[in-house]
């Protein structure tokens, strides 16, 4: 009896809480964000999940939309990953691409931020501008530059440099012939260069918020640049490193724009130059037979993997510890 009553009360409590929230100022401020999340995030996910349980093909929605195949798309996907020799490379490539590019992005951004911190003001700002260029250049133009740089014929910049130096005698088709290292190197290089600036900006602004007295104090005590970096800057940037790593990892997991162009233009090998996100895109939009159900299933799994990796990253890198325990009781 008592239990029922209390259960009732919590239910109506929750209900009135929601009602209160809807009538509060906070709700008005959050409304635009809530609408955006619903329109651009929740609806697409719901649609994808739905699609992943249908045999939808070639955008023939009218015909397939009411057919359900259960988890068949998911089983097919797992089977392909484990058995299809053309799909497996894509997953190895995705893992290698994310790990190496992530390391380049985070360490490069950190290194640049710290290096520019110890530079004079003028050198620092021109260095930073230089590293922002890849980000500021339109994707097509930027990809074009590297297309010509790594081009497999003698007109490729890299080839002509190496040939004029006498290091090689015949042009090398970097993206197609040295499998898998050639295509990997190219997609990692091209994306790594773009991603570095993000970490650089975040870390630079974080460093500029460190009281300069901390660094001066260490200098007076005789600390070298390296020991200031190791003992003061990096520990104080811990939170930002976690943040940039997580953010960059998730965006690498879902990025495909540069890679799409490089594959499309034939610069890199189709299998060892394609990542999971691009694979989904191709399956849904460019393949001869557009297997949308399968693409949706692969996409849903990608979202789940992304969410898990995000949580894992925050956990491993100690998100909880970063939030300081309150001083004494509050």
Partner 1 sequence: MVVVRLMNVTKVFRTGVVGVKDINLTVNHKEFMALLGPSGSGKSTTLYLIAGIYRPSSGKIFFDDRDVTNLPPKDRNIGLVFQNWALYPHMRVYDNIAFPLRIKKLPENEIRKKVLETAKMLRIEKLLNRYPWQLSGGQQQRVAIARALVKEPDVLLLDEPLSNLDAQLRISVRAELKRLQKKLGITTIYVTHDQAEALAMADRIAVINNGRIIQIGTPEQVYTKPATVFVGGFLGNPPMNFIEGEIVEEKGKLYIVIAGQKIFAPAHYEPIIRRGGWRKVVVGFRPEDTMILPECRDRNECVKGRVYAVEPMGREYIVVADLGGELVKAIVPRTLVLTDDQEICLCPSLEKIVLFDPKTEKSLEVLAAEKE
Q: What residue ranges bind partner 1 (CB under 8 A)?
A: 211, 213-214, 216-223, 227, 231-232, 235-236, 238, 324, 327
Nearest approach, Cβ of residue 275 and partner 1 (Å)? 37
> Between 70 and 222, whose beta carbon lies closer to partner 1?
222
Residues of the chain by 3-state class (helix, strand, coil), percent to 5: 75, 0, 25
Alpha carbons 240 and 231: distance in angstroms, whole number: 16
> Between 19 and 238, whose beta carbon lies closer to partner 1?
238
> Between 91 and 319, whose beta carbon lies closer to partner 1?
319
Alpha carbons 91 and 259: distance in angstroms, whole number: 15
Q: Rounded to the nearest 10 degrees, what angle do helices 88-118 and 238-254 cross at?
A: 150
Q: How many CB atoms lie within 10 A of CB 52?
A: 24
Nearest approach, Cβ of residue 109 and partner 1 (Å)? 21
Nearest approach, Cβ of residue 64 and partner 1 (Å)? 57
Nearest approach, Cβ of residue 103 and partner 1 (Å)? 24
3-state SS class at 19: helix
Alpha carbons 101 and 95: distance in angstroms, whole number: 10
- CA-wise closest residue to 81 among 96, 66, 69, 92: 92
> Between 24 and 231, whose beta carbon lies closer to partner 1?
231
Q: Which residues of 268-294 are buried (b: 16+ CB within 10 A; e: fewer)?
A: bbbbbbbbbbbbbbbbbeeeeebbbbb
Beta strands (DSSP E) in 19-89 are none
Nearest approach, Cβ of residue 229 and partner 1 (Å)? 13
> Between 162 and 210, whose beta carbon lies closer to partner 1?
210
Nearest approach, Cβ of residue 238 and partner 1 (Å)? 8
Alpha carbons 28 and 22: distance in angstroms, whole number: 8
CA atoms within 13 Å, Cβ hemisphere of 245: 22
> Between 138 and 222, whose beta carbon lies closer to partner 1?
222
> Between 3 and 122, whose beta carbon lies closer to partner 1?
122
> Between 61 and 216, whose beta carbon lies closer to partner 1?
216
Length of the chain: 330
Tokens 């009602």: give the residue: 19
> Between 4 and 325, whose beta carbon lies closer to partner 1?
325
Maximum alpha-carbon separation in the chain = 91
Nearest approach, Cβ of residue 327 and partner 1 (Å)? 6
Nearest approach, Cβ of residue 3 and partner 1 (Å)? 44
Nearest approach, Cβ of residue 216 and partner 1 (Å)? 6
List phi, psi (to 5°) of 22: -65, -30
């Amino acid at each position: 009896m008592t239990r029922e009553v209390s259960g009732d009360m919590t239910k109506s409590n929750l209900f009135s809480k929601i009602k209160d929230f809807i009538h509060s100022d906070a709700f008005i401020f959050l409304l635009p964000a809530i609408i955006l999340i619903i329109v651009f995030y929740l609806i697409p996910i719901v649609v994808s999940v739905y699609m992943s349980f249908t045999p939808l093909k070639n955008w023939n929605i009218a015909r397939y939309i009411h057919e359900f195949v259960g988890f068949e798309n998911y089983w097919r996907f797992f089977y392909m990953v484990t058995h299809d020799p053309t799909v497996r490379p894509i997953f190895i490539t995705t893992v290698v691409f994310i790990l190496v590019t992530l390391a380049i992005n985070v360490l490069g951004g950190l290194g640049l931020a710290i290096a520019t911190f110890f530079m004079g003001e003028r050198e620092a700002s021109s260095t930073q501008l230089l590293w922002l260029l890849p980000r500021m250049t339109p994707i097509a133009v930027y990809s074009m530059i590297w297309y010509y740089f790594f081009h497999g014929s003698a007109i490729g910049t890299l080839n002509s440099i190496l040939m004029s130096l006498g290091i090689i005698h015949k042009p090398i088709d970097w993206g197609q012939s040295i499998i898998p290292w050639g295509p990997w190197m190219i997609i990692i290089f091209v994306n790594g260069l773009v991603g570095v600036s993000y970490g650089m900006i975040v870390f630079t602004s974080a460093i500029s918020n460190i009281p300069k007295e901390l660094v001066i104090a260490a200098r007076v005590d005789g600390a070298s640049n390296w020991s200031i970096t190791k003992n003061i800057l990096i520990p104080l940037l811990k939170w930002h490193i976690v943040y940039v790593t997580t953010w960059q990892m998730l965006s690498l997991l879902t990025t495909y724009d540069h890679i799409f162009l490089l594959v499309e233009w034939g610069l890199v090998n189709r299998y060892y130059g394609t990542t999971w996100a691009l694979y989904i895109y191709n399956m849904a939009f460019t393949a001869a037979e557009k297997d949308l159900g399968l693409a949706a299933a692969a996409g849903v799994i990608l979202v789940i993997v992304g969410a898990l990796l995000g949580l894992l990253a925050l956990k491993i890198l100690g998100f909880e510890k970063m939030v300081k325990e309150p001083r004494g009781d509050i």
